[in-house]
Structure 1
């Protein structure tokens, strides 16, 4: 392996250790990733904005701090990308479109915590406008492409982050998940992506991300990198609408903790009545179930409790989009699809409180599964990555008809608020990543991470990389 490839696909934990051990400087690492972004972004269109000058200055400051003998943070000197729905001081938060041009006067809480831990903010990644669609495509910024096959989509809405991490343009990046937007891009791009418990990560300066649905978190190549970053960014502020009970121990500890023999339900049926997963996805699901059984877990096959989720989810999505649309300074520049969603949100606004109550009632019903089981295993998506260009020439109705089934295995857990992770489960005959989803009970991220780490040890996936 060349030194360039070694750096490009190094884990966050390795890079932090190499920098702390003076094997390489933060400036050298940052220069490497800036060059890689500049080389690959014209093909992949993953980054909206490369913060080259700012990242170099920040890396130099990290190196100077290290030279002074000061204590280093856990992410010291490591470049991190930020999905463009999070404020980064000095840059506009565009939400993926052209309607917002206001320069952020300060960092969001998540970005502030990353910097406090020593991270270097290297750029902002693309997303569909307001994260509405599970495809990273916009009229303003074009189509983001999957590094495993540039004719395919990296999914969405954190598709820019996923493409960047999978291509080795950055070691990790921040995404957001309101209906599968961390897990679906992770699935499409062969990454690990945990949607944490509702209220686990601050949405400040905003009160929430898509009402009760959304949360913020990293997309990474390894379980350990996700745990490390969550240990840095977890926790809320008084302005947040939701607050999860803090973990008893760092999430990193879970990776070396034996979870014991867990009761795991394998549920291959689509919980929203959507399309069935394809044969390769189901075969990968069953192979993962067999691996879990071999690890000593008690694996059973069955279905999830039924509850009405479609309308509560749709109304909350519409309300969340309306919240974000109010922040833009050029509403006339919104995409036609987005304007249609805003109209839906305006019409359904009187039912917003009902939607949250109905979502909570559905969550209570669905969560009865955890009276009998510790974890649930499902497909993440129904197929491997789909063709890019899903939104080309498509209006609101047709886009919605595509998006709803695409997120049918993931969106239910946003309504419920439970933690859920997507992790690689092999590759299709075409060489595309396959993925399974592990769901835990409320506050159960540590259990998910412990089992994910077990699977990663016996079936390592980070060594498989796209060829660009």
Structure 2
């Protein structure tokens, strides 16, 4: 059944909320109060937040109400992934080993969202150091609201659970090897990883140039609004007339081919795009057999290179200590090979010389079980990471924008998803293609929530 206890405004889009606050039909305080009450009711079930900033959020909402120019995100409750600084808050990164000193200033993307009128209601749950594709920490497990037996994904899993369960209409995520798109797929959302140079970074982050900040939401307009408010350049939805769209289900990992449900969803999307007037072709880029070794070296090496300052490594989870140790060995051995990455980047960009958009799966299978993956071995985590999501990391290595888009509901009741990939600078085009898919294959913005 639906969550009928949700107050007015809960479940509304960011665009709707901001318009209502700007026009005086509601106040930022009223909106935030409603969402905080909803979080209090449902988050014990879904585990989206590490910290809810109730008093601070209400004070921020009052400040928005006092502003003459309330901004494009006026009064919109947002969630920030516990991976960037929020003034006065401890950035835990899902770990007991990180510093407990509160941040002295906002990360630039947080500052930009606040300047646009957004209200930060909380910090979302992540795996330790945002390494793994499930989001559990010592205090809880982020679960997909579609079925709480399954993980919300990672590393932006708490962010995805918060949006999917109507706790916020927009959430920040970061994506180094699929960490926005994987949870978006697990939770039936849009999740956009932009290309390099779109959203701001600070020193000491970036995962060797793999990671980008992006947005999770339920509508194309919300994602464009949220990304535009944090971006270094305007983001506009570009509605295409006729494109050449490649569709490929071939996994780069031999032992992680997509299941039948995933392939059916992909073909359904391909047919819808053809009906919309696009030329669809069954092809994908040629992927060198060495690319998965390179991806593994970057996955471990990037985490090792971005270990936070003031980290007490003796308090790291066993899987994380192993991951960092493997990454340091990969860096010393020269396996993190920028020349090899450049060759893949050039090949990936060249693929788009006669193709406008590539469509692939995000996940190869249903989400992983909602378990305390942080207590399991590194090898167990690494193996299941490869089996779950072999598709997204290729596009971090190539530095290309990619967007997870809902693609119906599987027979097991979990959401389907596809990934749209485009050439450099194609964020607006990907959103435009997603808008056409939303018309051709409308998706439920939220699952029905269990009664509490």
- Go from structure 1 to structure 2 and tell me whether the alpha carbon gap of 1:133 and 1:117 turns closer, same or farther (over 3 Å shift): same
1:370 corresponds to which of 324, 333, 352: 352
Name the CA distance, whole Å, in 1 between partners of 2:255 and 2:265. Answer: 19
Q: Tell me: CA distance 1:6–1:393, structure 2 relative to 1, closer, same or farther (3 Å).
A: same
Q: Where in structure 1 are there 5+ consecutive unaligned residues?
A: 236-245
2:242 to 248, 256, 261: 261
Q: Structure 2 vs 1, CA of residues 362 and 292 (structure 1 numbering), >3 Å: closer, same or farther?
A: same
In the comparison of the two structures, how many residue pairs are matched? 446
State the Cα distance separating 1:464 from its structure 2 match.
4.6
SS at structure 2 position matched to 1:273: coil
The offset of 1:49, in angstroms, is 0.5
The reply to whether residue 61 of structure 1 matches residue 60 of structure 2 is no
Post-superposition shift, 1:13? 0.4
Query: 1:290 aligned to 2:271?
Result: yes
- Tell me, yes or no, if the aligned pair for 1:161 and 1:173 is still in contact at 8 Å: yes
Counterpart check, 1:414 vs 2:416: no
User: Which deviates more from structure 2 when the two are superposed, residues 152-161 or residues 399-408?
Assistant: 399-408
Q: Residues 3 and 64 of structure 1: is their aligned pair in 2 closer, same or farther, counting only changes over 3 Å?
A: farther
Residue 22 (str. 1) matches residue 24 (str. 2):
yes
- 2:29 corresponds to 1:47: no
Matches of 1:53 and 1:357, distance apart in 2: 50
Q: Assess, with a 3 A threshold, how the Cα gap between structure 1 residues 3 and 421 changes in structure 2: closer, same or farther.
A: same
**Farther off after superposition, 361-370 or 224-233:** 361-370
Per-residue deviation, 1:459: 2.3
Whether contact under 8 Å (2:6, 2:38) holds in the other structure is: no
- Say if 1:377 and 1:439, in contact at 8 Å, map to a contact too: yes
Aligned match of 1:134 = 133
- Structure 1 residues 357 and 390, CA gap change in structure 2 (3 angstroms): farther
Secondary structure at the counterpart of residue 9 of structure 2: helix
Find the residue that maps to 2:95 and give its secondary structure: coil
**Separation of aligned partners in 2, 1:226 and 1:268:** 26
Matched, 1:452 2:449: no
Instruction: Tell me what 1:230 maps to.
Output: 227
The residue number in structure 2 matching 1:13 is 15
Bigger drift between 301-310 and 109-118 goes to 301-310
> Equivalent residue for 1:165?
163
Q: Distance in 2 between matches of 1:405 and 1:421?
A: 20
Distance 1:143 1:271 in 2: 29
Provide, for residues 385-412 of structure 1, a one-character-per-residue CA deviation record: whole Å limited to 9, x for no partner. 2321172642112211111232211110
| 8 Å contact kept, 1:264–1:376 | yes
Mark the CA change 1:71 to 1:169 in structure 2 (over 3 Å): closer, same or farther: same
2:114 and 2:333 map into 1 onto residues whose CA distance is: 39
C-alpha contact 1:152 1:388 (8 A) present in aligned 2: yes
Q: Corresponding residue for 1:358?
A: 340
- The alignment partner of 1:265 has SS state of strand
Match of 2:186 among 188, 191, 195: 188
If the length of structure 1 is used for normalisation, what is the TM-score?
Answer: 0.91
Aligned to 2:407: 425
Q: Does 1:109 align with 2:111?
A: no
Aligned-partner Cα distance in 1 for 2:267–2:8: 33
- The superposition leaves residues 276-313 of structure 1 with CA deviations (integer Å, 9 ceiling, x where unpaired) of 11111111111111110011000011232122322332
Residue 432 and residue 416 in structure 1: after superposition, are their counterparts in 2 closer, same or farther (change >3 A)?
Answer: same
Distance in 2 of aligned mates of 1:51 and 1:6: 21
Return the TM-score normalized by structure 2.
0.94
State how 1:67-466 maps to structure 2 within 5 Å: 70-100=68-98, 101-138=100-137, 140-204=138-202, 206-235=203-232, 246=233, 250-252=234-236, 254=237, 257-307=238-288, 308-351=290-333, 354-389=336-371, 391=373, 393-466=375-448
Q: Are 2:406 and 2:418, in contact at CA under 8 Å, matched by a contact in 1?
A: yes
- Cα deviation for residue 119 of structure 1 reads 0.7
State how far apart, in whole Å, the 2-side matches of 1:128 and 1:460 are. 32
CA distance in 2, matches of 1:207, 1:364: 26
Quote the offset at 1:331 in angstroms. Answer: 2.5
C-alpha contact (below 8 Å) 1:380/1:422 kept by paired residues: yes
- Measured after TM superposition, the shift of residue 352 of structure 1 is 5.6
CA distance in 2, matches of 1:390, 1:270: 27
Provide the secondary structure at the position in 2 that maps to 1:165: helix
- Counterpart of 1:8 in 2: which secondary structure? coil
Report SS of the residue matched to 2:373. coil
Distance 1:450 1:171, change over 3 A: same
Residues in 1 aligned to 2:424 and 2:254: alpha-carbon distance in whole angstroms: 24
The 3 A distance-change label for structure 1 pair 358 and 102 is farther
Residue 351 of structure 1 and its aligned partner are, at CA, apart by 4.6
- SS of the equivalent of 2:306 reads helix
Q: Aligned equivalents of 2:301 and 2:146: distance in 1?
A: 34
Distance in structure 1 (CA, Å) of the matches to 2:316 and 2:87: 23
